Amino acid sequence: MSKLDYLDQLENEAIHILREVAGQFEKPALLFSGGKDSICLVHLALKAFRPGKFPFPLVHVDTGHNFPEALKYRDDLVEKIGEKLIVRKVEDTVKAKKLQDAKGKFPSRNALQTYTLLEVIEEFEFDACIGGARRDEEKARAKERIFSVRDEFGQWDPKKQRPEFWNIYNGKINKGENVRIFPISNWTELDVWNYIKREKIELPSIYFTHERECVVTESGQLMANSEYLQLDASDKIITTQVRYRTVGDMTCTAAIESEAYHIDDIINEIKEAKISERGATRMDDRISEAAMEDRKKGGYF
Amino acid sequence: MELLRFFTAGNVDDGKSTLIGRLLFDSKSISTDIIEALTKQSKTSGIDTGIDLALLTDGLRAEREQGITIDVAYKYFTTERRKFIIADTPGHIQYTRNMFTGASNADLAIILVDARNGITDQTKRHSIISSILGIPHVLVCVNKMDLVNYSQERFDEIVNDYKEFAAPLNLKQISFIPASALAGDNVVERSEFMNWYEGETLMQFLENVKIDVVNSEGASRFQVQYVIRPQTNNLHDYRGYAGKVLSGSYKKGDRVLVLPSNIETTIEKLEKHQAEIEVANALDPVIIHLKDDVDISRGSTIVKINETPQTEREVNATLCWMDNNAFLPGQKLILQQNSFRTKAIVKDVVSKIDIHSFRQFESDGGMKLNDICKVSLKTAEPISFDAYKENRHTGSFILINENTNNTVAAGTID
């Protein structure tokens, strides 16, 4: 037998995990954000289950601060593959629970989306949620299992993680608990891009270079100018060629200056990049050394 | 490009984190914002001289506070030749289960030995676990050579000590490299101070070590993960068994046996990624179609008729007990082997293995956290298996506590 390429091995592992979810759970869901990682998950699910239907719906927790390009991509994709999409809006949770909405110049609903996520899990009684998180993203993620059991409050307890051996996944849970499942745990940002290239996966246009009006933050990051920002006269606005390395909310995901037009340009850019994916683009992980660990303990992905 | 999974075992004191840090730094896998964050943290932890590399791998707050590794951290780097997945595992005895987690999938174990201390209890423990898990390669990295004046004599002494200790362990392949992670000797760059050493540097070794393709050889094994039945108008009779080829290969027309129901049939069709294929190789995620309508569901095994595994309700195994709560004799457990689950009980705890000497001692019938024991198990349904040393995929299993649902043990079938 010829040796398997590393992308084949990563793909095989992910498909195996997705099929374990289908075999072990009553009511799984795939969390879909419109970002490249969850787009890869959908692609892998097609490979795992076609010609059958997905044994789970796609769930989008809509913060209301999405890039319009990402929403359009989402709707087009769902129509093309003919799978079920459930959308729940953070704004509705904020109203119903009388929560304090995000404030400030760049109002981030990142923390608020945990409420909506936990609500949608409860509403549909999901026992497993598949997500596109990767271990190379952040050091708390680097410690998380592929099957990560959460208690009734969605909390991750790093000290109580189940040991995980070989490719045997234990998804047995008590009522009220759920499992977060990360099929592409072992992929790096570069692996994802190489896979997208190999599989010719279509992506939202904002991953590629385009002209955009951006606000320059104090630390020099470029934030897309949108109706969600609270700007004042002193804010510096420029129009420049940018692209996005990750697709999160318009209010907390920074663009990077880039001329990368083709996927090969992007792959070269990442190989050369000196700053990590989250470091370059996320405002929310900069708060403290343990920001991600704390958010996960609170029920975040 | 190939993929190599390895694990490192050892304490911060052995220079494990420095070694990983060196591999990541020198392969340019650490970003500047992370280096910046580390420099800041190193200062708050009271370390003034540069970066404390332990902070790079220790991701949880408790680990940073206590300065120890508690759980496995996965790290990734790529060279021109290979993608590497490092499972950075704790060395302390109380975290043996976390080490098992990181080691179970590895192609290679890197065991760090401090040149000043030589073989310690920890070295022995990690080697014995590597032996139980059948890790194909063990690399003994004799670190901190700079602190023993790069002495060849000292290195040779450690190599001989290790060989003597490891003789009964049946490790498949052992290699030795003298190095200093801190000074950078023989990690990526060849050392100027050890001209007597003519072997590979650590990086060369990682890029060249042969990765076993055990899966492709030996008997063909496939287990059903999920049955695909679209039940739509145009696919009314479609019934496909989705799963991964665990070892060997299958082709259209093969006469096969479905276990445990023991029914013979023929492979009618093989599909992969929505296309029909002629041959399914090891690790391929495929959908198998069978000629006859047989009783088959998740966890069923499909094998070739002349390559049958053992199918029994009793197995002898080596068990590592992983739960904080000790084993209770008579306790009802669930055995999971890949996707197959059945109720099981431990009938007898035959002996306990001393983790530092590999000697077997008479058992008192109990099992506590991190104990490694020889046991005999009885299962409710018959299980189809191979000995672990023949097949890592069909010879391994976990035990789940029926009440708490926790994974309480990992087992390899003798």
- Residues A229-281 pLDDT 10s: 787 878 888 899 999 888 878 888 888 888 999 999 999 888 877 666 666 66
Flag whether residue A188 sits within 8 Å of chain B, measured between CB atoms: yes
Regarding whether B142 and B49 lie in a shared domain, the answer is yes
Regarding whether B265 and B175 lie in a shared domain, the answer is no
Regarding whether B240 and B182 lie in a shared domain, the answer is no
pLDDT single digits (tens) A188-208: 999 999 999 999 999 999 999
Q: Taking Cα atoms as reference points, which of B2, B139, B138, B8 lies closest to residue B73?
A: B8
Regarding whether B251 and B178 lie in a shared domain, the answer is no
Name all domains of chain A by residue range, CATH numbers in brackets.
6-191+290-297 (3.40.50.620), 205-283 (no CATH)
Q: Is the pLDDT score of B13 beyond 80?
A: no
Regarding whether B253 and B206 lie in a shared domain, the answer is no
**What Å distances lie between residue B268 and B255, B260, B289, CA to CA?**
10, 20, 5
pLDDT mean over B229-244 = 91
- Which residues of B, range 328-387, sit inside 8 Å of A by Cβ? 334, 336-339
pLDDT mean over A33-50 = 96
Regarding whether B103 and B25 lie in a shared domain, the answer is yes
pLDDT of residue B217: 72
Q: How confident is the model at residue B47 (pLDDT cuts 50, 70, 90)?
A: very low
Q: Which two tokens stand for residue B246?
A: 């665990």
pLDDT single digits (tens) B248-259: 999 999 999 999
Do A46 and B274 lie within an 8 Å CB cutoff? yes
- Which residues of A, range 39-58, sit inside 8 Å of B by Cβ? 46-53, 55
Regarding whether B106 and B9 lie in a shared domain, the answer is yes
User: How many structural domains does chain B have?
Assistant: 3
Which amino acid, residue A34?
G
Do B230 and A53 lie within an 8 Å CB cutoff? yes
Instruction: Identify the weakest region by mean pLDDT among A103-107, A121-125, B81-85, B150-154.
Output: A103-107
Q: Which of B304, B337, B360 is the last residue of a domain?
A: B304
Residue B60 with chain A: CB contacts under 8 Å: 140, 143, 158, 293
Regarding whether B230 and B134 lie in a shared domain, the answer is no
Q: Is the pLDDT score of A287 beyond 50?
A: no
**What Å distances lie between residue B259 and A136, A167, B299, B304, B305, CA to CA?**
40, 21, 9, 11, 11
**What Å distances lie between residue A203 and A196, A198, A207, B152, CA to CA?**
9, 13, 7, 56
Residue B245 CA from chain centroid, whole number: 19
pLDDT of residue B115: 95
Q: How many CB atoms lie within 10 A of CB A259?
A: 11
Q: How confident is the model at residue A1 (pLDDT cuts 50, 70, 90)?
A: very low
For residues B169-192, one letter each, b for 16 or more C-beta atoms within 10 angstroms of the residue's C-beta and e for the rest, the string is: bebeebebbbbbbbbbbbbbeebe
Regarding whether B138 and B180 lie in a shared domain, the answer is yes
Flag whether residue B229 sits within 8 Å of chain A, measured between CB atoms: yes
Regarding whether B60 and B194 lie in a shared domain, the answer is yes
- Which residues of A, range 263-282, sit inside 8 Å of B by Cβ? 273-276, 279-280
Regarding whether B58 and B201 lie in a shared domain, the answer is yes
ipTM > 0.95 for the complex: no
pLDDT single digits (tens) B313-343: 999 999 999 999 999 998 999 999 999 999 9
pLDDT of residue B48: 41
Q: How many CB atoms lie within 10 A of CB A219?
A: 8
- Phi, psi dihedral angles at B352 (to 5 degrees): -115, 135
Residues 6+ apart with CB under 8 A from A264: A197
Q: Which of B304, B333, B351 is the last residue of a domain?
A: B304
pLDDT single digits (tens) A79-129: 999 999 999 998 888 888 888 877 777 777 777 888 889 999 999 999 999
Residue A22 with chain B: CB contacts under 8 Å: 225-226
Q: How far does A52 lie from chain B, in Å, by closest CA?
A: 5
Are A111 and A295 spatial neighbours (Cβ–Cβ below 8 Å)? yes
Instruction: Please give the residue range of the domain that contains residue B86.
Output: 2-212
% of chain A beyond a pLDDT of 70: 90
Regarding whether B201 and B220 lie in a shared domain, the answer is no
Query: Which pTM does this prediction carry?
Result: 0.92
Place of tokens 């060279």: B79
pLDDT of residue A2: 47
- CATH code at B70? 3.40.50.300
pLDDT single digits (tens) A14-37: 999 999 999 999 999 999 988 999
Q: How far does A23 lie from chain B, in Å, by closest CA?
A: 5
Q: How far does A168 lie from chain B, in Å, by closest CA?
A: 5
Determine whether A90 is exposed, middle or buried from the number of CB atoms within 10 Å of its CB (0-12, 13-18, 19+): buried
pLDDT of residue B55: 60
Instruction: Identify the weakest region by mean pLDDT among A40-44, B155-159, B196-200, B231-235.
Output: B231-235
Q: Which of B160, B194, B212 is the last residue of a domain?
A: B212
pLDDT of residue A286: 47
- Phi, psi dihedral angles at A17 (to 5 degrees): -65, -45
- CATH code at B256? 2.40.30.10
